[in-house]
């Protein structure tokens, strides 16, 4: 048989994907991921209930600005970030700790196929949960703003904004997922490098434009339909540097290329992976 067995590899990837998605949704770490994905929905749901009962007031279209700020400063930087840490770092690291990875390594499956199947399972889980969180929270905001029937609301490009927020969430899961998948393969204790990535992503607002480009959050924020300005208190705002947003024609292919490169490195790394449960 000439050529590469693409059909066999694709069948194996789908089998791994189904198995791993089931583990992701039903595993003991799933509750943390559910809470992170639901946190934004809960936040805006509580606000909507408070508005309905008269405990708070709706600020009209300004609430979409509040949503944009919360989405960029909390949902992307913390909820999606730590959700991807929990999902992707444990794809291989969790198997090592549970002493089950050797079942995959002894199976007649190429290791590169194993990486592809596990990554796609993590991506499907993250996109489904965090994408749903982004969509539901946006719809909650839109529903109680719509009750005011403002002319500005009726003229707002809401479907385009909703699609943009969903797309940014998908790209965040793709970019962070690829990075944390590789960290789970490279480091025995991947928490320390994950904290380093979190610090770097958090201080990008203080970095010059050239260094901002070496981060995932810079490209994600450039794709958001409404940019949330940094409003640090005290002297911190003086050091914040506003970078020019990257064009979508560069940001989207750039994030996809970054994820592809990191996944390729992960596939090269797993070729040399040797499991020694006794060292854990």
User: Could you report how far apart the first and last alpha carbons of the chain are, in Å?
Assistant: 42
% of the chain at pLDDT higher than 70: 83
User: How many CB atoms sit inside 10 A of residue 15's CB?
Assistant: 13
The pTM for the full model equals: 0.88
Contact 185, 264 (CB under 8 A): no
User: pLDDT value at position 164?
Assistant: 94
Mean pLDDT per 10-residue segment, the chain (280 residues): 77 91 80 93 85 64 82 93 93 82 85 93 95 94 69 64 95 95 86 90 80 86 79 44 73 92 92 67
Q: Answer for the pair 93, 273: CB distance below 8 angstroms, yes or no.
A: no
CB-based contacts of 266: which residues, under 8 Å, 6+ apart? 115, 119, 178, 181, 182, 185
Quote the pLDDT of residue 234.
43
C-alpha to C-alpha distances, 280 to 4, 55, 99, 228, 267, nearest whole angstrom: 37, 53, 10, 43, 22
- Residue 40: how many CB atoms within 10 A of its CB? 23
b/e string for 258-277 if b means 16 or more Cβ within 10 A? bbeebbeebbeebeeeebee
Given this model, what pLDDT does residue 211 score?
A: 79
Distance between CA atoms of 93 and 99, rounded to whole angstroms? Answer: 10
Tokens of 261: 């490169």
């Amino acid at each position: 048989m000439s050529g590469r067995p693409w059909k066999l590899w694709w069948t194996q990837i789908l089998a791994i994907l189904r198995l791993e998605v089931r583990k992701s949704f039903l595993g003991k770490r799933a509750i943390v991921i559910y809470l992170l994905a639901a946190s934004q929905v809960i936040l805006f749901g509580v606000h909507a209930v408070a508005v309905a009962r008269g405990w708070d007031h709706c600020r009209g279209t300004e609430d979409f600005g509040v949503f944009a700020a919360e989405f960029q400063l909390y949902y992307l930087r913390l909820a999606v970030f730590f959700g991807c840490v929990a999902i992707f770092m444990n794809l291989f690291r969790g198997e090592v700790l549970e002493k089950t990875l050797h079942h995959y390594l002894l199976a007649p499956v190429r290791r590169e196929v194993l990486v592809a199947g596990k990554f796609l399972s993590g991506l499907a889980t993250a996109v489904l949960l965090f994408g749903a969180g982004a969509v539901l929270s946006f719809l909650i905001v839109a529903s109680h703003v719509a009750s005011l029937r403002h002319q500005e609301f009726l003229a707002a490009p809401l479907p385009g904004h909703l699609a943009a927020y969903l797309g940014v969430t998908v790209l965040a899961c793709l970019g962070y997922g690829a990075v944390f998948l590789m960290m789970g393969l490279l480091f025995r204790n991947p928490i320390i490098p994950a904290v380093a990535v979190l610090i770097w992503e958090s201080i990008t607002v203080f970095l010059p434009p050239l260094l901002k480009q070496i981060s995932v959050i810079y490209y994600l924020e450039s794709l958001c339909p409404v940019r949330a300005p940094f409003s640090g208190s005290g002297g911190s705002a003086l050091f914040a540097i506003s970078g020019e947003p990257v064009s979508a024609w560069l940001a989207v292919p750039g994030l996809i290329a970054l994820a592809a490169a990191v996944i390729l490195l992960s596939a090269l790394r797993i070729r040399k992976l040797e499991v020694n449960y006794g060292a854990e």
